Amino acid sequence: MDCGAPIIDDGFPAAKLFSQGYSYTYDDVIFLPHYIDFPTDAVTLSTKLSRRITLATPCVSSPMDTVTESSMAIAMASLGAIGIMHSNTPAPNQAALVRLAKSHKIPFDYDIIFKSPSDILDSADDFSSSPCIFVTESGSEKSKLLGTVKLSDFEKYCEKLDSEEVRVSDCMTKCPVTLPSSYTFEDVAGYLAKNELDFVPLVKKFGEDGDKIVNIVTSEDVGRNQGFPKLGLPSLDSNGEFLVGASIGTRQSDKERLEHLVKAGANVVVLDSSQGNSIYQIEMIKYAKNLYPELDLIGGNVVTQYQAQNLIQAGVDGLRVGMGSGSICTTQEVCAVGRGQAAAVYKVASFAGVPVIADGGISNSGHIVKALTLGASTVMMGSFLAGSNEAPGAYEYQNGRKVKKYRGMGSLEAMMKGSDARYLGDKEKLKIAQGVVGSVADKGSVLKLVPYTMQAVKQGLQDLGASSLQSAHDLLRSGVLRLEVRTGAAQVEGGVHGLVSYEKKSY
């Protein structure tokens, strides 16, 4: 059977569909199925994040302060994807988060808590997410390690005690055995099983500062890891450390931030601006490229070919596409600028010549299939990953539902912490919000969410007859893949409808 260009002229090639003056988003368009001659397992998702960085999984976590800190970056890298550390924090803090993420080899991350023997423990909340508290002479991480207080020991001690006041020294145990953070998960799991331990701290040597505890692995982690589906190879740099990205702005102070991040080992830097086609970003690109020619820079955000051209000529190694398409973004309604995300991705990717990140508008696996097929090399996700175990913040309950806060970097709340520079508004006395604060439902761990989502993406690409992202791009450009615009009724028909009630589970 001929699986080349269709004999019957059906549907529209992308070039024709996106040249009619309409700003289409993902739900507006649908791909027509093509010819399948390979199994789902034959689909490969390997892709380029930027000119020199390759990922096994085409996913990027957004540089938002309710999405990506060290836990998210660690988990994403372990899945073959990458996390971009947000910059809504002082530069040394952001660099410390990058350094912490790169010191891991295991996709679990706990709060490392230190106290002195004389400190008082009020409740189990003192342990945060950690199974233990580390006891040092002064209560700081740079002081001599004396022992640990296990959460289980603290709870048992409280049951026997009439007084609510518990001193750390009362339930401290001897200094634990530690393992190097360079150990693989299998090595650590074997050690825990052999020695019948509940947990083991992992340490890394940081120059003159000596050994530092950077993580804890528990026996529960071993069981959980065995239950997670596997994905591609982890994202590692030439030193065998996790790939971690970070964002910066375009102000003078961001030059110092850039230096901090490079020293911390950031593998890629994203210039974070809602409208990237500015003299400020172009000058920052030239500055960074001159100082760090081997560092990959991703520019943006852009939605037009003209915007993209200016940043490419300045020297970017990738582009971030999207403006006003995020679930918490109000740029299009406040400022009357932007573009439908499907149109933006297609237009920029068909012109760029550098890898494109589709940023915004992703709420299901079908949107990812559309973004990647329309020309993106990766998709950046905010709300899709917010609410997961690895996202920053504590869970709350709203009307009996477990949720986490999720806020736009253009919200007034985020702007008050410094993100207004992203919208070129940090010099203005009057702040104009381009985002909102909301909440998203608990999604569990990204270590489960992302692999299942990527399996759905593989099935979507199989239906299109594309065994790789490059194949999908080639089929689109050649006109073999066809699309149509969906009416409102067609969009309703394409989802769940006509039921009195239903339960929807993705996996």
Binding site for K(+): which residues? 324, 326, 329
Active-site residue, 335 included: no
Q: Which of 257, 320, 339, 422 is catalytic?
A: 422
Residue 409 near residue 386 (C-beta atoms within 8 A): no
Closest CA to 267 of 483, 51, 464, 494: 51
Q: Which of 59, 132, 171, 329 is catalytic?
A: 329
Binding residues: 272-274, 322-324, 326-327, 329, 359-361, 382-383, 406-410, 434
Token pair for 490: 């067609």
Token pair for 59: 């996913």
301-335 in b/e form (b: 16+ CB < 10 A) is bbbbeebbbbbbebebbbbbbbbbbbbbbbbbeeb
| Backbone φ, ψ for residue 450 (5° rounding) | -65, -45
Half-sphere exposure of 285 (CA within 13 A, CB side): 26
Binding residues for IMP: 327, 359-361, 382-383, 406-410, 434
Cα angle value 470/322/259 (rounded, 5°): 90
Token pair for 364: 């299901």
Alpha-carbon distance of 469 to 43, in angstroms, equals 9
Residue 393: exposure state from Cβ atoms within 10 A (0-12, 13-18, ≥19): middle
Alpha-carbon distance of 215 to 392, in angstroms, equals 17
Binding residues for NAD(+): 272-274, 322-324
Residue 470: exposure state from Cβ atoms within 10 A (0-12, 13-18, ≥19): middle
Token pair for 361: 């508008």
DSSP letters of 286-317? HHHHHH-TTSEEEEEEE-SHHHHHHHHHHT-S
Residues classed as catalytic: 329, 422
